Amino acid sequence: MSGIFEQLVAKLREISDLQNIEGLLGWDQQTYMPPKGNDARSRHIALLSALAHQKTCDPQLGQFMDDLAADASLNEEQQALLREAKHDRDKAVKVPTDLVHEIAETAGQSHAVWVEARGKNDFNLFAPYLKKLIDLKKREAEAIGYPSDGQPYDVLLDNFEPGATVDKLNPVITETREICRKAVQAITAAPKQPHLDILKRFFGEDGQEKFGTMILPQLGYDLQAGRLDRSVHPFTSGFDVNDVRITTRYQENWLPASVFGIIHETGHALYEQGLPVEHVGTPLAQALSLGFHESQSRFWENQIGRSLPFWEKFYPALKQIFPTALSNTSLEEFYFAINTVVPSLVRVEADEVTYNLHIVVRYEVEQAMFNGQVPVDDLPDLWNQKMEDYLGLRPASNAEGILQDIHWSFGGFGYFPTYLLGNLYAAQWTAALRKDMPDLDAKIRAADFIPIRDWMREKIHRHGRRYTADELCTRITGETLNPDHFGQYLKDRFAPLYNITW
C-alpha cells in the first residue's frame, strides 16, 4: 500500500510543480517581462493551468485516493495529506470544465470592463458583468455543493479559507466590527493627534531600498532562497520552499509604502520559506489558508514592525539614511505618525484599525450579493450606506466606493474576509507568543528576530495544512479564533499613544 501513497505524492508533486511554474511566469509578468510579451504569456499560463487541472482530474489520482482512504495503516500525517489533497481534488472535479472556462473568460472580460468603469466612474458599465460573475460563481458553488444548513457563499469562502462559513464567521466579524468602531470613535475624538505629514516628506528611492534590504535578512528572510524586486502591486510568490520572492514599490513622498510593504511581504515569505521541504509538492507543504498567510504578514508588519521597540532599534538607522527628511523628528513623533488612525474611503490606504471596517463592508455586501436580497444595481447604495455607518464617510463617487477593488472583477468573492482574519490571528499569536517569550519586547529592541521567526515556524509554518484552522489555532492558543485578543491589542497599542481610554 505504501507504493500507492508514493505514487499519489508523485502525482501531487507534478500538479504542484505545474502550479509553481505558472507562479514563476506570473512573477516574471509583473517584474521583468517586456510589455509586448503579454499575449504569449497569457497563453502559456492558460496552458499550464489546463495541464494542472487535467492532472488533478486524472481518474487514476482519484483511484489512489479511494484506495488509500480505505487503508488503516496510514499514519496521522499521511491521513492529513490525503484529506487535504482529496478536498482540493473533489472541488476541482465537481466543477464542469465548461463552467471553469466560462468563469475564466468572463473574469478576463470583466476585469477589462472594471478598469474602464472605474476610470469613468460608471458602475452601470460594470454591473452586467458583476451580475454574470455572481451567477457563475453561484453555479460553481452549487456544483461543488454544501450541507443543507449551508449556503453558496460558504463554498466561496472555503476557496480561500478552508472550513470558513457564514455561520462561523458572522459572530467573529460582528464582534470585530464593534471593537473597531469603538476604537475608531475613541481615537478620532482624542485631542492628541499624530503628524502624518512626517511620512510624506521626500524619501529617495535609493534610501528606501537601502533600508529595506538592510532589515530583510535581519527578520530571518533567507536571501539565498529569495529576492526583492519592484512591481506595481507588491506581492510574494513562492515556487518552492527554497525560492520565495517578494516585491515592493517605492513612493518617494510616502515612506510607509516600502517600509511596511517590505516587512509585510517578508511575513508572507517567512511562511513559505518555513514550510517543510520534505513535503514539497503536497498539502503538508502548503499554507493553511489565506487568513493564516495574512496573519504572518500582519504580525510582522503591525505587531512587530509598528511597535515602539522595533523603532527604538531601527529609527537611528532610518534617520541616518534620511537625515534631511527626519532631522527635526523625534522617535516618539515618528512612532506616533506610523500609528495614525484616520477613517478614509480607500481600503489599501487604511490603517490597521479602520482596515477591518473596510473588510466588514465588503463581507456584508458579498453576502447580499449571494443571498440575492439586494439587486446588483442597488449594491453601490448599500456600500455607501455601510461606509457611512461604520466609517462615518460617504464616498462621493463609485470609483472611490464600490469600484475601488480589483477582487470582484476576477470573481474573487470570499477573498476579503481573509484580510480581517489575518489581523485577528496575528493579535492572537502575539498574545500566545508573549506568554512563551516574556522578553519579546527586549528581543525586538535587540533585532533578535530569529527566535520569533522560529516560534512561528514551530507553531505554524512546519505544519502546512496538517491541521484545520480551528485545530491549529487551539493547539497554539488554547482556543479558536477570538477577536478579544485584537481588541486588547488595540487598547495596548493605541490608548497610550493617543493618551485616552475606552
Question: Which residue among 24, 99, 104, 127 contacts its own copies (CB under 8 A)?
Answer: 24
State which H helix or E strand residue 324 sits in.
Answer: none
Question: Which residue among 226, 343, 380, 464 contacts its own copies (CB under 8 A)?
Answer: 226
> Three-state SS across 262-273?
HHHHHHHHHHHH
With beta carbons less than 8 A apart as the criterion, state whether 222 and 270 touch: no
Q: Is 265 a catalytic residue?
A: yes
Question: Which residue among 77, 88, 229, 471 contacts its own copies (CB under 8 A)?
Answer: 229
Q: Which of residues 432-471 bind its own copies (CB under 8 A)?
A: none
Residues 189, 43: Cα–Cα separation, whole Å:
54
Q: Which of residues 68-127 bind its own copies (CB under 8 A)?
A: none
- What minimum distance in Å lies between the beta carbon of 423 and its own copies? 30
Question: Which residue among 88, 178, 209, 243 contacts its own copies (CB under 8 A)?
Answer: 243
Specify the pairing of strand 243-248 against strand 236-240: antiparallel
Minimum CB distance to its own copies smaller for 32 or for 202: 32
Which listed range, 22-30, 130-138, 190-198, 436-444, lies at the site for its own copies (CB under 8 A)? 22-30
Minimum CB distance to its own copies smaller for 277 or for 317: 277
Residues 495, 40: Cα–Cα separation, whole Å:
54
CB count within 10 Å of CB 213 equals 12
- What minimum distance in Å lies between the beta carbon of 24 and its own copies? 6
- What minimum distance in Å lies between the beta carbon of 276 and its own copies? 14
Minimum CB distance to its own copies smaller for 33 or for 331: 33
Minimum CB distance to its own copies smaller for 43 or for 394: 43
Question: Which residue among 89, 91, 181, 245 contacts its own copies (CB under 8 A)?
Answer: 245
Minimum CB distance to its own copies smaller for 47 or for 396: 47
Please tell me the count of residues contacting its own copies according to CB under 8 A. Answer: 36
First to last CA, the chain: 61
State yes or no: residue 227 binds its own copies (CB under 8 A).
Answer: yes
Instruction: List the helix and strand counts (H, then E) for the chain.
Output: 20, 3
Q: How far is CA 18 from the centre of its chain?
A: 23
Vertex 339 angle, CA 337 and 344, to 5° = 95
Residues in CB range of 8: below 8 A, 6 or more apart: 61, 64, 65, 68, 82, 85
- What minimum distance in Å lies between the beta carbon of 30 and its own copies? 13
- What minimum distance in Å lies between the beta carbon of 59 and its own copies? 18
The torsion of the CA quartet 278, 281, 283, 284, rounded to 10 degrees, works out to: 0
- What minimum distance in Å lies between the beta carbon of 177 and its own copies? 42
- What minimum distance in Å lies between the beta carbon of 285 and its own copies? 11
Minimum CB distance to its own copies smaller for 245 or for 306: 245
Question: Which residue among 224, 327, 328, 499 contacts its own copies (CB under 8 A)?
Answer: 224
Q: Which of residues 35-64 bind its own copies (CB under 8 A)?
A: 35-37, 39-41, 43-44, 47-48, 51
Minimum CB distance to its own copies smaller for 225 or for 500: 225
Which letter does DSSP use for residue 281 in this model? T
Residues in CB range of 266: below 8 A, 6 or more apart: 216, 219, 221, 246, 297, 300
Which listed range, 220-228, 287-295, 334-342, 391-399, lies at the site for its own copies (CB under 8 A)? 220-228
Minimum CB distance to its own copies smaller for 165 or for 247: 247
Q: What are the backbone angles phi and psi of residue 148, rounded to the nearest 5°?
A: -65, -25
With beta carbons less than 8 A apart as the criterion, state whether 376 and 124 touch: no
Residues 187, 205: Cα–Cα separation, whole Å:
32
Q: Which of residues 265-284 bind its own copies (CB under 8 A)?
A: 280
Concatenated DSSP letters of 101-139: HHHHHHHHHHHHHHHHHHHHT-HHHHHHHHHHHHHHHHH
Among 379, 382, 403, 384, which Cα is nearest to 395's? 384
- What minimum distance in Å lies between the beta carbon of 241 and its own copies? 8
Minimum CB distance to its own copies smaller for 18 or for 61: 18
For the record, the C-alpha cell of 128 comes out as 452586467
Residues 82, 77: Cα–Cα separation, whole Å:
9
- What minimum distance in Å lies between the beta carbon of 280 and its own copies? 7
| Angle in degrees, 0-180, between the axes of helices 152-160 and 166-188, rounded to the nearest 10 | 70
The binding track of 396-435 with respect to its own copies, each residue x by CB under 8 A or -, is: ----------------------------------------
| Angle in degrees, 0-180, between the axes of helices 166-188 and 379-391, rounded to the nearest 10 | 50
Minimum CB distance to its own copies smaller for 39 or for 98: 39
- What minimum distance in Å lies between the beta carbon of 275 and its own copies? 12
With beta carbons less than 8 A apart as the criterion, state whether 359 and 416 touch: yes
Q: Which amino acid is at 102?
A: E
Considering the candidates 265, 294, 352, 364, report the single residue annotated as catalytic. Answer: 265
Q: How far is CA 390 from the centre of its chain?
A: 22
Residues belonging to the active site: 265
Q: Give contact residues for its own copies (rule: CB under 8 A).
A: 14, 17-18, 20-21, 24-25, 28, 32-37, 39-41, 43-44, 47-48, 51, 222-227, 229, 239-243, 245, 280
